[in-house]
Amino acid sequence: MTLPQKRSVPSAVVTNALRACRLGLVAVGVFTGIINVLMLTGSFFMLQVYDRVIPSRSLPTLLGLFVFIIVLYTFQGVFDAIRGRLLVRIGASLDQHLSRSAYEAVVKLPLVQGAGPDGLQPVRDLDQVRSFLGGLGPTALFDLPWMPLYLGLCFLFHVWIGLTALVGAVLLIALTLLTDVMTRASAREVSQSASVRLGILEAGRRNAEVLRAMGMIGRVFTRWAIVNERYMDTQQRSSDVVGGLGALSRVLRMLLQSSVLAVGAWLVINQQATGGIIIASSILTSRALAPVELAIAHWRNFVAARQSWRRLTDLVSRLAVPEPSLLLPPPVKEIAVEALTVAPPGTQRFVVQNANFRLEAGDGLGIIGPSGSGKSSLVRALVGVWPAVRGKVRLDGAALDQWNAEQLGDHIGYLPQDVELFDGTIAENICRFEDRPESAYIIEAAKVASIHEMVLRLPDGYETRIGEGGSALSAGQRQRVALARAVYKSPFLLVLDEPNSNLDAEGDHALTQAIAATRGRGGIVMIVAHRPASLVGIDLLLVMANGQCQHFGSKDEIVKRLAEGTRDPSQRSTIRAEAVRAKG
């Protein structure tokens, strides 16, 4: 299953985020207008000095004008600071409204379209937008609409001064558009290369032990170096374009200022303007074109922020699936699998096809089969991790998509094949990081998984921090803590994928006790295993091969059928022996 590629309508989350920023953006626009009016202070001061103060030699007039501009410049500085603070807070407001959606996109995206090169891209996109709003780029964009004001004043001074400034403005705007056209593709390449580059780095960090033990550091670095070189090349090309056009805009602006001075001087010589107009028009022209130059200088950040915003809003809109508001009663009867077909996220290759079976309260099902037969894919669909391509999984008659995700999680215990714990205490990991967990539930889950005594022997007991990924614990301890997390609050459906891969004899005994306890209270247990001997405490068996359910029924009957269907006598003996061990 893949996300649709067409542009989607903004979700309510994005709409609400923009609506929350509306008043702030209006305020920024108002302050921008005030600031741009106050920007006229310098021009009119110079005009008054040259046309009034110097001819009259009036010091009181000069002093009065100087005090007046001190007040105006002070207000300009205050309003400019307020505008900057508002933009920073608008960025913080967007982050506050969209951070949950960005985090959910990071978590959900691999389950919808498969793992990408940089799984943190949605959060990076949000950071990019917030960082841009806190910089100088937005102020230039807000100042651009005020260019006609300055150009109009230049025309009021004299038509030739206005035309000179207008020609310069048209040239700089053309440079801005050219910058957008020439940097759009390169900015996209920079973003894609950066994602791949960071993805390889993250993979190396996660697999540091393997790289070091098997001498793979240099080889993986070679792969990273190739991607890094591509990233540096695209970034360099983008920087060259922006830097070159930025330098050209600065030269053009300085040339335009000199041209305005030259035109003004020509008008003075011909007695069509005063000396004050020369200086004032030069300042006005500089101010009119400054936003364009600043926009070009920050254009790369603007393009990156625009692409980040589009990616983020499109992704949030596509992943925004309304959660059912009605809370269903807790399941207590059965789970039914109806013609279930499953494909890994981002692919169309079916790994499970037309699976059909039903389990009732108190049942225990073992799922066996060779590697690649679809066992883990099946249980991922049963717990709602992978969406079904066709068919349904129902708990007490309600399909999984009819359940609220948070509510459904309370009724499911899942121990995946690759155990992942989170940086925090053992208690936090067992209680699934609930805000206000009850200690009795945590201890009960630990006792069911037979780790209560083990935890008490640790330096800080249940408050022992286990580090990222549970690095402070052994593989067997991590698996048993994950088992305690799975049985927390006695879920109705307990799904265990290769739960004894890292367990010793004591751990196997704890696993058997957890299975018995779950079935004894009316829960349903499913265990994925390669061999029947791992299925102590289970009475039903599902055999999978090539993504299809080959056999389903009582464990004794299925084992007997498998033994009879095996031609090799030694294999028949092995299967029967495993069946005896599986009975406990």
Q: What CATH number is associated with residue 64?
A: 1.20.1560.10
Distance CA 49, CA 44 (A): 8
> Is the pLDDT confidence value at 413 over 50?
yes
> Is the pLDDT confidence value at 444 over 80?
yes
Residue pair 172/251 in contact by the 8 Å Cβ criterion: no
- For 131, the token pair is 């960082």
Parallel, antiparallel, or unpaired for β 524-528 and 548-554?
A: unpaired
Please report whether residue 107 resides in a domain. yes
Rounded (10°) CA dihedral 110, 114, 118, 119: 0
* Phi, psi dihedrals of residue 351, rounded to the nearest 5°: -105, -15
pLDDT digit string, tens, across residues 294-313:
777 777 778 788 888 888 88
**Predicted local distance difference test score (pLDDT) of residue 322:** 65
**Predicted local distance difference test score (pLDDT) of residue 274:** 75
Distance CA 238, CA 384 (A): 43
Q: How many other C-beta atoms are found inside a 10 Å radius of the C-beta of residue 460?
A: 10
What is the DSSP secondary structure assignment for residue 566, as one 8-state letter? -
**Predicted local distance difference test score (pLDDT) of residue 49:** 82
Q: What confidence category does residue 2 fall into, taking pLDDT thresholds of 50, 70 and 90? A: very low
> Is the pLDDT confidence value at 570 over 50?
no
Distance CA 203, CA 182 (A): 33
Q: What confidence category does residue 20 fall into, taking pLDDT thresholds of 50, 70 and 90? A: confident
Burial of 530 (0-12, 13-18, 19+ CB in 10 A): middle
- The residue-averaged pLDDT of 230-259 equals 79
Parallel, antiparallel, or unpaired for β 352-360 and 524-528?
A: unpaired
Please report whether residue 532 resides in a domain. no
- For 565, the token pair is 């269907």
Parallel, antiparallel, or unpaired for β 412-415 and 364-368?
A: unpaired
Q: Of the spans 319-333, 394-408, 526-540, 558-572, which averages the highest pLDDT?
A: 394-408
Residue pair 349/546 in contact by the 8 Å Cβ criterion: no
**Predicted local distance difference test score (pLDDT) of residue 212:** 75
- Beta carbons within 8 Å of 262's beta carbon, 6+ residues apart: none
Parallel, antiparallel, or unpaired for β 524-528 and 540-545?
A: unpaired
Q: How many angstroms separate the Cα of 500 from the Cα of each of 124, 415, 489?
A: 38, 11, 22
Q: Which residue has the tokens 């990222």?
A: 468
Please report whether residue 33 resides in a domain. yes
Biggest alpha carbon distance in the chain? 121
Please report whether residue 562 resides in a domain. no
Q: What confidence category does residue 6 fall into, taking pLDDT thresholds of 50, 70 and 90? A: very low
Number of domains in the chain: 1
AA identity, residue 512: T
Please report whether residue 283 resides in a domain. yes
Please report whether residue 351 resides in a domain. no
**Predicted local distance difference test score (pLDDT) of residue 323:** 64
Distance CA 447, CA 484 (A): 8
Q: What confidence category does residue 7 fall into, taking pLDDT thresholds of 50, 70 and 90? A: very low
Q: Which residue has the tokens 């925090």?
A: 424
Q: Is the dihedral of CA 217, 223, 224, 226 positive or negative?
A: positive
> Is the pLDDT confidence value at 454 over 80?
yes
Rg of the Cα atoms in the chain: 35
Distance CA 555, CA 540 (A): 5
What's the order of all strands across the beta sheet hosting 352-360? 352-360, 334-342, 388-395, 398-399
Q: What confidence category does residue 580 fall into, taking pLDDT thresholds of 50, 70 and 90? A: very low
* Phi, psi dihedrals of residue 497, rounded to the nearest 5°: -105, 110
**Predicted local distance difference test score (pLDDT) of residue 118:** 60
- The residue-averaged pLDDT of 269-294 equals 78
Q: Which residue has the tokens 């591509």?
A: 230
pLDDT digit string, tens, across residues 171-214:
878 877 787 777 777 777 777 777 777 777 777 777 776 677 77
**Predicted local distance difference test score (pLDDT) of residue 233:** 84
Distance CA 270, CA 518 (A): 101
Residue pair 331/166 in contact by the 8 Å Cβ criterion: no
- The residue-averaged pLDDT of 3-14 equals 56
> Is the pLDDT confidence value at 334 over 70?
yes
Please tell me whether the overall predicted TM-score, pTM, comes out greater than 0.75 for this model. no
Residue pair 111/345 in contact by the 8 Å Cβ criterion: yes
Please report whether residue 126 resides in a domain. yes
> Is the pLDDT confidence value at 547 over 80?
yes
Q: What confidence category does residue 522 fall into, taking pLDDT thresholds of 50, 70 and 90? A: very high
Please report whether residue 106 resides in a domain. yes
Parallel, antiparallel, or unpaired for β 334-342 and 388-395?
A: antiparallel
Higher pLDDT, 143 or 209: 143
Q: What confidence category does residue 426 fall into, taking pLDDT thresholds of 50, 70 and 90? A: very high
**Predicted local distance difference test score (pLDDT) of residue 249:** 75
Burial of 292 (0-12, 13-18, 19+ CB in 10 A): buried
Domain that holds residue 30: 12-319
